[in-house]
Copies of this chain bind each other. A is one copy, B any other.
């Protein structure tokens, strides 16, 4: 999904500024969709306004930076709802962690351990964030999405906890570095630095 649709989705739920859209897409309830930067959001809102899908109202409160509050139009609403009727594109799951996992056999144990710990912390942070979002009283679709997300994340976290030993035991040859492999010069130093 692109930034355009993200903007429409957020504005469909209520008015917002570019700044707020950024926050919602990176930290808030819309983080499942796109992780947009200012450099893509502001131009997208400009274009949506030119196309008549959103309107813009400038707010100048003294003592505060002026802000441009965007609102969706009837045409925008129609366009967005219409796109929901299309069959959704397949879910995307990308994991650099799994790339590391696939090479557990050639990585020193401490490196693998650190990667697992890091991944666990990330999932825990994601769960905490979702739980916080869940505080607001949602219902119907939004509530279902939250429950689904929490359930999947908790399951993945449980799996990691239950099976991390197996993963760590793939790599018990060298605790620091294996000099028989090329390019390991920097590795020992990195591990030593911890």
A contacts, CB < 8 Å to B: 1, 5, 9, 12, 32-34, 74-75, 77-79, 81-82, 84-85, 87-107, 111, 114-115, 118-119, 122, 140-142, 144-145, 147-149, 151-152, 155-156, 159, 163, 166-167, 170, 181-184, 186-187, 190
Contacts and interface: CB of A to CB of B under 8 A. Distances in A.
A194 B145 CA distance: 27
Q: Which 6 A-B pairs have the closest CB atoms?
A: A78-B183, A104-B141, A88-B96, A140-B170, A92-B94, A105-B140
A16 B57 CA distance: 56
A156 B152 contact: yes
Contacts of A159: 148, 151-152
A84 B100 contact: yes
A103 to B, nearest CB: 6
Contact of A144 (B12, B90, B170, B183): B170
Given A107-B84, A141-B104, A163 B148 contact: yes
5 contacts: A75-B183, A77-B183, A85-B186, A92-B93, A105-B140
Given A81-B183, A101-B145, 20 more contacts: A32-B93, A33-B95, A33-B99, A74-B183, A77-B181, A77-B183, A78-B183, A84-B103, A85-B186, A88-B115, A88-B118, A90-B122, A91-B96, A91-B119, A102-B141, A105-B140, A105-B141, A144-B170, A148-B159, A152-B156
Give the secondary structure class of A's interface. helix
Nearest to A182: B74
Contact of A186 (B82, B93, B94, B152): B82
A104 B152 contact: no
B166 A96 contact: no
